[in-house]
Chain A
């Protein structure tokens, strides 16, 4: 009988509480009192000393002895604790800050809280209100602040001053800090107490002033004992405070601090050494108590014990002495290799393998070839059933060494498995029973997970099917390289074998290669043809390729291992010879025979599309066959290349198949393509030689002419620069202008040479073919080989001067010629001359350094993003929440759609493509099309549009309920159909009827198919409940980071306005940095046409200094007075459109915060256009003498007086946009100032500084600013990231109401889980905090669940059973009894 589903779910941890052990608990845990200094008892053959710190009662650390407590060996005994009783209490280094915190809050005399009763009641009331942990911590901080302000204890009226740290692990109380000039009686008493000492030792008098009250651990302990337990709540603790001081120390089991014995000497672990030190110090103090000891000596011992214990906990404690750092308890937890990140969050696993990878186009894309040597080691436990009995018997009898075999056998009633390497396998095979488990070798078709580090996104680990093959490498189809980022220059990859059927099915469905053809980042295909496949496809589908019947049949066999029926189409050329074209081969590749249902329709431009000769012809008449039309899987025109086969493109053939006919068909077509291309290219050959890169004589001459003219052009530019006659570009100085002009001229040289070279190469040239079809290399690479390498750029500039005023001693000083600044006129073919070679090497080195720096930086960025977003998931109510149920978004991305299913540009359906598809699929020559009115009637009758017809329906509404469709989608669908109907009406009105019907037709079937399919696609695109949208979003933002090169870009039109882009910019945004490297405010102008008004506004905004508008400044001394004369140059003032008067300038000088010049001290002399700033004598003792210091400081400060504009704005540039409107780009901070400036439209003015947006415009503005900034950065690097991911990030950074960076500070404000924070950064700080405040971790998030080995509540673990589980405690009746 089939077993019923049993419902005894395994127990799970529902929470983890942190705290400290009381001495009683330590006593209960421990099996031995460690009080002996010796480690080994030398008299008894070097066995561990009883009572020493490696007492065998605490367990053992070698394989030969038994634990004296439980009798187990190292493998079975997990160890036992001991304890050390300290002779005197000491501070705990982890709680040292907390201890000081408590001391600051209580009276140092009586231990009462330093709060009045009213204040206590008020705070208690606030504390007891339900709130989250973050608010509680804030409240506790407020309480502590309030206590610190109290001067006298409310209960005993004792003076309380400042408690502070004084040296390592020493606390002092500065009792009289707040006592004023009139001394209080306490202070007098305190000072009097030193009298006798001072009398005795007069030298010590100067020390008396610095005497402070020492709060030693013993005093603190006694004070803590005095603290009323009712005040604990206000302090935020609940355990007895004495626990936070060391009185007894637990000694950890020996097995975690093993001794390493070599010959006779043994090497003890750092922890053991420290423990022994502590025991020794404690014993000496205790002996001192018993036998008497100098106080000095005792204090030294106490301090030594204090320090040892601190180092035992945390080796980073500052001690003053420099010893070799030990691996203390904190160090064991911390860092990448520490317990949290190295052992708890990520573990070493069984059933895995790793070796070098190599390519094999003969494998299917979802296969991985596993070497038989690996297959014989990795196993899968398969249950014996009646159906596989025969196979299993064979496997068992083959044993471990013969493939296919099995390594172990677990009989159903036995505990231990049997090794099939030994014993009588024949007999075991014969005795095999149903229900036994055979750990068999991997075999073809098994599921394995395949992974390559760095695992930057989820497709870095995918589920493949095994194909066992000879030799030693793991092999995969080249199409599957892109998601892993793998190449075959020695890369290694890992293999993992899931061990249960559940794991296999889950892996296959969620991680299967076929189910991950599209990237979750943008929905574009990521598994697609690469390199050789594209080259071969280009060659096959080229217009020149014709195949006779034999060749065609060979190609068809190649693409399918000769096991598919192909319906041969009639040849394209029937006479004089039957010849098929390459496009027909591709048609058959997509749809091999009539039984195949794959009929795709596609129109797309290729990468190298050139317009047809006749500009009125449709694009498919392109001169280079650069426009692809596929109708009903028939390739009508166009050459196959990167855009049609490659990754990252939604116009791809495979993407079309995938969307309309599912992943199996797409994968099958890709398999056919891989096989065809690899084998075709193998037959045809495709190589490159010196002749491919030899330039023709014409090209050489052309290049020579180009370079000489460019050189003379630059020479004139340099000459004009030297004569200071060069006209500056807006916003640039003369040098920048020169550089920009020269770069312009030189880049044109390379471009022109490159174009000429590309256009005149013969079409069989291999590098040309590769660059044209996009398989490898760009036209620039080709022209660098053949024509000219071009300018070498180092950090955005031409080569800098490494010698004095020149780049190399080969050139003249101050030379700015192209050759001296890194222009390489040679090609790689002609060879670089020595300076050129050096410049090229410098530039190359920069690239290498850049990549190295970038990988480390983006890795850390990805980790931070992941930690902040890991536990976000979309739930059944369509909200996105954290694991603690905090709502981050009410609907994922605003519309609840999955980026992976986006067909258009972040839209679920590409209407145009679908429309064309439906038109082609429903095409019937004889059908009479609908009229436009009929189309409207048809649509009006459709029920799916009912939500739009409700009165007052919001057609712009993006969101949709669980079983609804969004109004925006429906209305966009409707308006699309409307547009088509209007087009139909237009065509019908223009042309005779039977001609119009040929030109444009909308069929009834087509229309209904269109609507139905669009809706199905929309419904399918909804994000599934449980999806880990956060993790996917984090990866989608982190992964493109690795591909971004650090460089800055220019704003269009304005050469000098640089914006930081790339990784540094992304970093700035997600860190929520206060200062960013290029803050730019984009101000819209009220009058955006007129240049002059723009300049006026610019003048108002831009910071203008007095020196910029003054002709001269000089100090004038006469008999009666002395002043600084400032002559204002009103020509400049007018040119800058500043509209300043002398009075206004004078007022600006008086506003200067430091100069403190009054109105009356400035004499305005309008006739001379001059200001006379009086030198005021320094007030004070020296009378009326003028300080020369004052004069010079005035002369120094005056030029830098800001006369108009905003001080935080360095400059503003007028930007002329494409449609000739003008806007102001302002560099600097101060959005509010710019917004409120006259002539600026405040409501359209934005800055790229997120925090300023938050400050001025609020949190929603900050959110959209984050989203916009990240999108622009991504798109300027050509990375397509779905806006939904970026929106999620924006929401996570702002959902708390303030802008939180993705850093440890931000994360601590977003999450409350101790384990999550501890596994991120500052591990031990979080743990000590948690223990002090007695925090509880509810184990809800991803990190916590992984650390505790539980299934997480995301994805397939999102389902919870609402029915409460009640344990069935009554005895159960056997089934047979129930039947009676």
Chain B
């Protein structure tokens, strides 16, 4: 696992709900390895369709490894090495809130992140999520 990856796990998709939207859907997924890690995430299904029962690898990283010196974002150069190369679907956003779980479990917490309005909620034991802080993150998904 590269140094900038803060969290990584394999999930099985339990449900996909497009709601009233035709381009995005919210899916709920359960970690295969850790029974107490759950997430729900909005993704653009037009670009990256997901289906119930699929297994996906999700990683959260602090950076993609490239340097972006200017104030404005620039598209990566074609030959640039990036963490994103290993994944199919990458989003950029921010962890904006940590909250207690609904059950008031003593060592579980939920983190909430927004990728430009596409939301992630990730619930788990706080030790699993120890390296995640309230900051900018990338989420990387591959099947």
**A interface: dominant SS:** loop
| Interface stretch (choices A226-234, A458-466, A580-588) | A580-588
**Which of the candidate stretches B2-10, B29-37, B52-60, B110-118 sits at the interface with the other chain?**
B110-118
- The contact string, 1 if C-beta is below 8 Å from chain A, for chain B 88-118, is 1111111011111010101101001011111
Report how far A574 CA is from B93 CA in the complex, Å: 10
Counting CB contacts under 8 A, is B1 at the interface? no
Given known contacts A544-B22, A544-B23, A992-B107, A999 and B84 CB-to-CB distance under 8 angstroms = no
Contact of B117 among A578, A616, A631, A636 (CB under 8 A): A636
Contacts A546-B44, A574-B91, A575-B88; A998 near B72 (Cβ below 8 A): no
Q: Is the CB of A571 within 8 A of B73?
A: yes
Q: Closest A-chain residue to B138, C-beta based?
A: A574
**What are the residues of chain B within 8 A of A618 when measuring CB–CB?**
97, 99, 112
- Interface readout for B112-143 with A: 1 if CB under 8 Å, 0 if not? 10111111010000100010011100100000
Contact check, B92 vs A574: say whether CB atoms are below 8 A apart.
yes
In whole Å, how far is A735's beta carbon from the nearest beta carbon of chain B? Answer: 45
Nearest-neighbor residue (CB-CB) of A987 within chain B: B100
Instruction: Take A567-B72, A616-B102, A992-B126 as given contacts and tell me if A625 and B92 are in contact as well, using a CB distance cutoff of 8 Å.
Output: no
User: Which listed residue (B48, B104, B121) contacts A576, Cβ 8 A?
Assistant: B48
A375 CB to closest chain B CB (Å) equals: 41
Please give, as numbers and ranges, the residues of chain A lying within 8 Å of B104 by CB-CB distance: 990
Q: Which residues of B contact A998 (CB under 8 A)?
A: 98, 109, 126, 133-134
- Report yes or no: A573 in contact with B44, Cβ–Cβ below 8 A: yes
Chain B residue with the shortest CB-CB distance to A639: B117
- Which of A568, A573, A582 makes the CB contact (< 8 A) with B47? A573
Evaluate whether A575 and B116 lie within 8 angstroms (CB atoms) in the complex, with A543-B42, A616-B102, A995-B126 already known.
no
Nearest CB in chain B: distance from A916 CB, A: 11
- Are the CB atoms of B98 and A999 closer together than 8 Å? yes
Q: Are A575 and B84 in contact (CB under 8 A)?
A: yes
Least Cβ–Cβ distance between A582 and chain B, in angstroms: 7
Size bracket, chain B contacts = 35 or more
CB-CB under 8 A from B40, the residues of chain A are 621
Q: Beta-carbon contacts of A683-707 to B below 8 Å, as 1s and 0s?
A: 0000000000000000000000000
Whether B112 contacts A583 by the Cβ 8 Å rule is no
Contact (Cβ within 8 A) A617 B118: no
Residue picked from A574, A613, A994, most chain B C-beta under 10 Å = A574
Partner of A581, one of B118, B121, B126: B118
In this assembly, does A925 line the interface, its C-beta being within 8 Å of a C-beta of chain B?
A: yes
Complex CA–CA separation, A569 to B71 (angstroms): 8
A-B contacts counted at CB < 8 A amount to: 134
Evaluate whether A568 and B100 lie within 8 angstroms (CB atoms) in the complex, with A544-B21, A620-B119 already known: no
The answer to whether A490 has its CB under 8 Å from any CB of chain B is no
B73 touches A569 (CB 8 A): yes
Is A629 interfacial (CB-CB < 8 Å)?
A: yes
- Contact (Cβ within 8 A) A991 B115: no
The answer to whether A574 and B90 touch across the interface, beta carbons within 8 angstroms, is yes
In the complex, the answer to whether B134 meets A572 with C-beta atoms within 8 Å is no
Complex CA–CA separation, A990 to B99 (angstroms) = 13
* A577-608 to B contact mask, C-beta < 8 Å, 1/0: 11111111000000001100000000000000
Given A544-B23, A571-B73: A925 touches B89 (CB 8 Å cut-off): no
B19 interface hit (Cβ, 8 Å): yes
Q: B141 CB to closest chain A CB, in angstroms? A: 9
Listed residue (A583, A621, A625, A995) with the most chain B CB atoms within 10 angstroms of its CB: A995
- Of A572, A577, A629, A638, which contacts B96 at CB under 8 A? A629
Partner of A568, one of B21, B72, B93: B72
- Assembly CA distance A623 to B20 (angstroms): 9
Interface centre among A567, A572, A621, A634 (most CB of B within 10 A): A572
Query: For the complex, what is the distance from the CA of A999 to the CA of B68, rounded to whole Å?
Result: 31
B69 to chain A, nearest CB (A): 13
Complex Cα–Cα for A998 and B111 (A): 10
B78 at the interface (CB under 8 A from A): no
Task: List the B side residues contacting A1044 at CB < 8 Å.
Answer: none
Task: Please tell me if the beta carbons of B126 and A577 are within 8 angstroms of each other in the complex.
Answer: no
A624 on the B face (CB < 8 A)? yes
> How far, in angstroms, from A567 to B24 measured CA to CA in the complex?
26
| Nearest-Cβ distance from residue A1008 to partner chain B, whole angstroms | 21
Asked whether any CB of chain B lies closer than 8 Å to the CB of A637, the reply is yes
> A581 with B133: in contact, given A573-B91, A574-B91, A593-B71 (CB under 8 Å)?
no
Residues from chain A with a CB closer than 8 A to the CB of B96 are 629, 631, 636
Which residues from chain B contact A549 at a C-beta distance below 8 Å?
A: 75
Instruction: Determine if A575 and B94 form an interchain contact, defined as CB atoms under 8 angstroms apart.
Output: no
- Whether A572 contacts B109 in the complex (CB less than 8 A), given A543-B21, A544-B22, A578-B75, comes out as no
| Contact assessment for A576 and B117 in the assembled complex, using a CB-CB cutoff below 8 Å | no
Closest to B130 in A: A994
A634–B94 contact, CB under 8 A?
A: yes
In the complex, the answer to whether A999 meets B100 with C-beta atoms within 8 Å is yes
Contact pick for A566, options B72, B87, B138, CB 8 Å: B72
Residues of A within 8 A of B107 (CB): 991-992, 995
**Is residue A635 contacting chain B, with contact meaning CB distance below 8 A?**
yes
Bound CA span A925–B119, Å: 21
Could you say which residues of chain B place their CB within 8 Å of the CB of A579?
Answer: 44, 47
Q: Give the distance to chain B from A966, nearest Cβ to Cβ, in Å.
A: 35
Residue numbers in A under 8 Å from B48 (CB-CB): 576
Residue of B nearest to A567 (CB): B71
CB distance from A233 to the nearest CB of B (A): 81
B residues in contact with A925, CB < 8 Å: 133-135
Return chain A residues, CB-CB under 8 Å to B22: 544, 763
CB distance from B42 to the nearest CB of A (A): 7
B121 touches A621 (CB 8 A): yes
The answer to whether B71 and A594 touch across the interface, beta carbons within 8 angstroms, is: yes
**A837: interface (CB < 8 Å):** no
**Interface assignment of A923: CB less than 8 Å from any CB of chain B:** yes
Please determine whether A636 and B94 come into contact, CB atoms closer than 8 angstroms. yes
Cα separation A579 to B104 with both chains bound (whole Å)? 37
Please give me the residue from chain B that is nearest to A638 by CB atom.
Answer: B117
Q: A572-B116, A575-B88, A621-B121 are in contact. Are A546 and B23 (CB under 8 A)?
A: yes
Residues of B within 8 A of A571 (CB): 73, 92, 116
Contacts known (A546-B23, A998-B109, A998-B134); A575 close to B73, Cβ less than 8 A: no
Closest to B108 in A: A995
Q: Does any Cβ of B come within 8 Å of A834's Cβ?
A: no
- In chain A, positions 556-573 with a C-beta closer than 8 Å to chain B are 566-573
For residues 986 through 1014 of chain A, which have their beta carbon under 8 Å from a beta carbon of chain B?
990-992, 994-995, 998-999
A398-413 vs B, Cβ < 8 Å mask (1 yes, 0 no): 0000000000000000
Bound CA span A143–B134, Å? 84
- Which residues from chain A contact B117 at a C-beta distance below 8 Å? 541, 543, 572, 581-583, 625, 635-638
Which of chain A's residues have a CB closer than 8 A to the CB of B134? 923, 925, 998
Per-residue CB proximity of A1136-1157 to B under 8 Å, as 1/0?
0000000000000000000000
The contact of A990 among B93, B94, B106, B114, by CB within 8 Å, is B106
* Contact residues in A for B90 (Cβ distance below 8 Å): 573-575
Could you tell me the distance between the alpha carbons of A1237 and B19 in the complex, rounded to whole angstroms?
Answer: 61
Q: What's the Cα separation between A584 and B23 when bound, in Å? A: 17
Taking CB as reference atom, which chain B residue is nearest A572?
B116
For residue B40, which residue of chain A has the nearest CB? A621
A995–B107 CA distance with the chains assembled, in angstroms: 8
Separation in Å of the B89 CB from the closest CB of chain A? Answer: 6
Known: A925-B134, A999-B100. A636 touches B114 (CB 8 A): yes
13 contacts between A and B (CB under 8 A): A541-B117, A543-B23, A549-B75, A573-B91, A573-B115, A574-B90, A576-B47, A614-B102, A631-B96, A637-B114, A637-B117, A992-B126, A994-B126
- 6 A-B pairs with the lowest CB-CB distances in the bound complex, closest first: A572-B116, A616-B102, A581-B116, A636-B114, A575-B90, A583-B117
Q: Given contacts A763-B20, A994-B126, could you give 19 more A-B pairs where the C-beta distance is less than 8 Å? A: A543-B24, A544-B24, A566-B72, A569-B73, A572-B117, A573-B118, A574-B64, A575-B90, A576-B47, A593-B71, A618-B112, A621-B40, A623-B20, A624-B20, A636-B94, A992-B126, A994-B130, A995-B109, A998-B133
